[in-house]
Amino acid sequence: MNAGLNYVLKKMLHMQIGCHVSISGSIDKAVDNAVERKCSAFQIFTRNPRGWNAKELTKEDIANFKSKLKESKIERLATCAHMPYLPNLASPKVEGFEKSVKTLIDEIERCSQLGIPYLVTHLGSHLGTGEEGGIKRLVEGLSRAGKTSKDVMILLENTAGQKNSVGSDFKQLGEIFNQLKSNKILYSEIILFGKHTYKFNGKLFTWEEYVNNVKTTDGLHQFQLMI
Ligand SMILES: [Zn+2]
């Protein structure tokens, strides 16, 4: 068999594959939805993603979610949560920024209660006030959230370059990681690139171009790449 294909198949055999599933009804329904779709991994919102306020998780919610997950064949480490839509960790508006950081800290707590090890967040928008300030606020927000002692890792989801978005090219991502590193928040040596990997600022990259950019950008070159 072709060596390249062999490598990809080997990777795929060990890959946990899933999708975002609904928690409609109660949070444990997410596990039913994932099992029904034959997922070996899944992502959820821990609450309604379209509002600022979230109902607290009850002891029953937490126990039901955990026991259903245990009964399923899905590993706990293959679950993750996604931040709700409204928070903007790069917001120049003080109230919006503070609410966003509070939501991030609350979500870390909710993930911890549910035993979910990863929380995905977008990098936010500077709302036209410039990338430098946007990055500074994002790093501050992540640093404050990183001080919580919960065993939850924050995963940063970069964008494909929507207007005013932070982290929308290699240089900006490198700057974010450098600043996080100097705040001693970034410990991981491995970076997982998500669905927007190949597109930055509206430009599509081949895998080779992409790897080359990562290897030569200050702040990114120390990372290993995983596909
Ligand atoms: Zn997302």
Same domain, 106 and 212: yes
* 39-94 tens-digit pLDDT: 999 999 999 999 999 999 999 999 999 999 999 999 999 999 999 999 999 999 99
Same domain, 124 and 153: yes
Beta-strand relationship, 199-200 and 18-20: unpaired
Q: Ligand 1 centre from 35 Cα, in Å? A: 22
Inside any domain, residue 66: yes
Q: Ligand 1 centre from 81 Cα, in Å? A: 10
Same domain, 63 and 126: no
Beta carbons within 8 Å of 151's beta carbon, 6+ residues apart = 112, 117
Same domain, 23 and 102: no
Same domain, 91 and 22: no
Q: Ligand 1 centre from 1 Cα, in Å? A: 37
Q: Ligand 1 centre from 42 Cα, in Å? A: 13
Q: Ligand 1 centre from 101 Cα, in Å? A: 17
Same domain, 65 and 90: no
Same domain, 62 and 145: no
Range of the domain at 92: 83-227
Q: Ligand 1 centre from 6 Cα, in Å? A: 31
Count of structural domains within the chain? 2
DSSP notation for the chain: --HHHHHHHHHHHT---EEE----SSTTHHHHHHHHTT-SEEEE-SS-TTSS--PPPPHHHHHHHHHHHHHSS--GGGEEEE--SS--TT-SSHHHHHHHHHHHHHHHHHHHHHT--EEEEE--B-TTS-HHHHHHHHHHHHHHHHTS--S-EEEEE--S--TTBTT-SHHHHHHHHHHHHHTT----SEEE--TTTTEETTEE--HHHHHHHHHHSTTTTTSEEE-
Block residue for tokens 């126990």: 63
Inside any domain, residue 2: no
Q: Ligand 1 centre from 188 Cα, in Å? A: 20
Q: Ligand 1 centre from 4 Cα, in Å? A: 30
Inside any domain, residue 158: yes
Residue-level pLDDT, tens digit, the chain, 227 residues:
456 656 555 555 677 889 999 999 999 999 999 999 999 999 999 999 999 999 999 999 999 999 999 999 999 999 999 999 999 999 999 999 999 999 999 999 999 999 999 999 999 999 999 999 999 999 999 999 988 877 898 888 877 777 888 988 888 888 998 888 776 665 554 555 554 556 666 677 777 787 788 788 887 776 666 55
Q: Amino acid identity of 79?
A: T
The domain boundary residue, chosen from 30, 58, 82: 82
Q: Ligand 1 centre from 164 Cα, in Å? A: 16
Q: Ligand 1 centre from 120 Cα, in Å? A: 7
Q: Which of 19, 25, 22 is nearest to 38 (CA)?
A: 19
Same domain, 107 and 72: no
Inside any domain, residue 174: yes
Same domain, 192 and 124: yes
Q: Where residue 170 sits, what CATH number does that domain have?
A: 3.20.20.150
Q: What is the pLDDT of residue 193?
A: 54
Same domain, 191 and 217: yes
Q: Ligand 1 centre from 196 Cα, in Å? A: 10
The domain boundary residue, chosen from 60, 82, 104: 82
Q: Ligand 1 centre from 2 Cα, in Å? A: 35
Same domain, 78 and 120: no
Inside any domain, residue 9: no
Same domain, 138 and 29: no
Asked if residues 70 and 104 have their Cβ atoms less than 8 Å apart, the reply is no
Q: Ligand 1 centre from 213 Cα, in Å? A: 23
Please state the pTM of the whole predicted model.
Answer: 0.85
